[in-house]
Structure 1
Amino acid sequence: MSVHQFKVTTIRGEEKSLADYDNQVLLIVNTATKCGFAPQFKGLQELHDGYQAQGFSVLGFPCNQFKEQEPGSDAQVEQACQLNFGVNFPLFSKIDVNGPDAHPLYKYLKQQASGLFGSGIKWNFTKFLVDGEGRVIKRFSPTTPPRKIEAHIRKLLAKNAVHAK
């Protein structure tokens, strides 16, 4: 199993296979524009911009499960991300990350890398680092700033480059 086996819906309502990200290092993040951690959008965008040419993407999954910090429609979320935070990394349709309606991708991510308090997602901006083969490598807490993940991303990109040769 890998994350590449999942299908997701883009923020504009189109179905997308995560197999499209084969051979890319991914940082999968549950986001919320009204969250206290929302300033992390800037750091996530900087990572995306800095490493995209080397085969890296940030994938944002808006979620309204934590104190209703993402109440808007997908269109409103997309607009807020672009206007307020300058986000242009891929965003997907709002999902649940916990509970019976949790998206299958998040059920898988949590199973592969449980957190400090068990398998549940504690809050917005929980981050999962995924290698080019779709394996979950590491989980980062909501309080981990994106720049602290950069060394891990570089390491995986270097491994990817070696495998590509």
Structure 2
Amino acid sequence: MDLRVVAYDDPDAVKLIDAVQQEYVVRYGETDATPVDPAEFAPPLGLFVVGYLDGEPVACGGWRVRGDAEAELKRMYVVDAARGKGFARAVLAELERTALDAGRRRLVLETGLKQPEAIALYRSAGYTDVPAFGHYRDDPLSVYLGKDLEASRGDLRAR
């Protein structure tokens, strides 16, 4: 898979973001209503990547600055046909590496109980429970995870 930095509103990014929003509709009955401004994913405030396989966009994810040294992961997604091949892990690794390079010391995210594969990915990558934040902080289906990138600096640099 070829990972490329793109704008959040790039046509390939929009295609994948629309697909993940439809996944939320299937799992939760509605799209993610978290406020998102595409400018938040433009360096130096953030970053968005799309993964390509044979020229087709198959995976995406991004981070945006949250606080002084923190960033929030958003819109991690892999299309159905490309799942189970390590692409989500590759996107996550790239987002962790680039966030650390940009001076972010910690990544946080919100996911949901109806996304057990996402929870398993993040926990296997060293993410642990953090206090709730953001739009869904009071939703009992939400799960909040974070990772100290500084503690993982050697592992992230080796990727």
Give TM-score scaled by structure 1 length: 0.26
Ranked by relative contact order (alpha carbons within 8 Å, sequence separation 6 or more), the top structure is 1
Give TM-score scaled by structure 2 length: 0.26
